Amino acid sequence: MLNSIGLGAAFLAIIFSGLWTPDLERAELEKRYAASSPQTIDIDGLKVHYKETGLQDAPALLLLHGFGSSLQAWDDWSVKLEQKYRVIRLDLPGFGLTGASPDHDYSEEKDLAILTHFADKLGLDKFSVIGHSMGGKMAWSLAAAQPDRVQALVLMAPDGFPETKDIGTKPYEVPAIMGLIKYVLPKYMVRKSIEPAFAEADALNDALVNRYFDMLRAPGVRGAILERSNQTIYTDPVSRLKAIKAPTLLIWGEQDQMIPSTNAQSYANVLSNSTTVLVPKLGHLLQEEQPEKGLTSVMQFLDSHLLIKN
């Protein structure tokens, strides 16, 4: 007869047998989401997965996705952008088919180094950056560090502007029990985590949920997400934002519940050349909830600063 410990272990085994969520094979993910031959490039020992489309001789756009996402977040926008621009989007370190960093370093400094060396290897002397949420923080960090290379900057609900009292804190540090997501990740939980990023939860379709669910099961991604969460430390952004020379579009969904649109004013107060657009009836995922709404303002901004001058 099993004792209480044995019964507990057996009960947990039954639960986990039904909820066990293993990683997907890279080949399977490539089959589902990389229709053409996957493009990868070695950056400081990390094999970065990226996709380049559009006009080779046109102004280059670097697209940086948000936390827990992948380069497919830009699918709808890329169809339009690549008609006028050279569009380069990548799975950021720890996400998508780039996957976990071999040195497990997800600091601001390492992210900046990876992006800078990525641009160097692709021969991007001048380029513009569109960044969303976490990718927005990376975008403005890159523009601050490379002010003479970044021609235009689009920040979509960017992360990284904390209140003074929060500087030096770890905003996304997770308890040890969250380590279970490496083994158990119900699709329902993924859907519920995306719903607050939409102004209208009913607009969240199964295809989008399936993609997020699949990419969270890319090899090593869940472990990398936990590591990034525990390594993220809020720093003072003001001096870096003041170093940015590029004209900047700050664009937010008016109903963003993840990073409130009121944060736009904090950025506008320190950026030397910025324009703010609030898009009504949209949440955090501007480029995925109603792609055409946010893209209109972004295209107008980019065209006015890049195409007229070229």
What are the residue ranges in the chain where pLDDT is below 70? 1-18, 35-36, 308-310
Q: What percent of the chain has pLDDT over 90?
A: 86
Q: Give just the sign of the alpha carbon dihedral 293, 296, 299, 304.
A: negative
**Which tens digits make up the pLDDT trace of 286-301?**
999 999 999 999 999 9
Name the packing angle between helices 187-194 and 206-216 (round to 10°): 110
Domain count, the chain: 1
Q: Determine contact, residues 90/50, Cβ cutoff 8 Å.
A: yes
pLDDT of residue 244: 98
Nearest CA among 128, 279, 144 for reference residue 198: 279
- What is the residue range of 157's domain? 4-307
Encoded amino acid at 34, one letter: A
* Phi/psi of residue 179, nearest 5 degrees: -60, -15
pLDDT of residue 308: 66
Residues 6+ apart with CB under 8 A from 68: 95, 193, 212, 216, 225
At 297, which CATH number?
3.40.50.1820
Q: Read off the DSSP letter of residue 178.
A: G
Q: Determine contact, residues 185/215, Cβ cutoff 8 Å.
A: no
Residue-level length of the chain: 310
Cα dihedral 67→32→16→68 (10° resolution): 0
104 Rama sector, left if φ>0, alpha if ψ -120 to 50, beta otherwise: left
**Which tens digits make up the pLDDT trace of 51-78?**
999 999 999 999 999 999 999 999 999 9
Q: Determine contact, residues 137/106, Cβ cutoff 8 Å.
A: no
* Terminal CA-CA length for the chain: 80
**What residues does 62 pair with on adjacent strands?**
88, 129
Q: How many CB atoms lie within 10 A of CB 70?
A: 26
Residues 6+ apart with CB under 8 A from 13: none
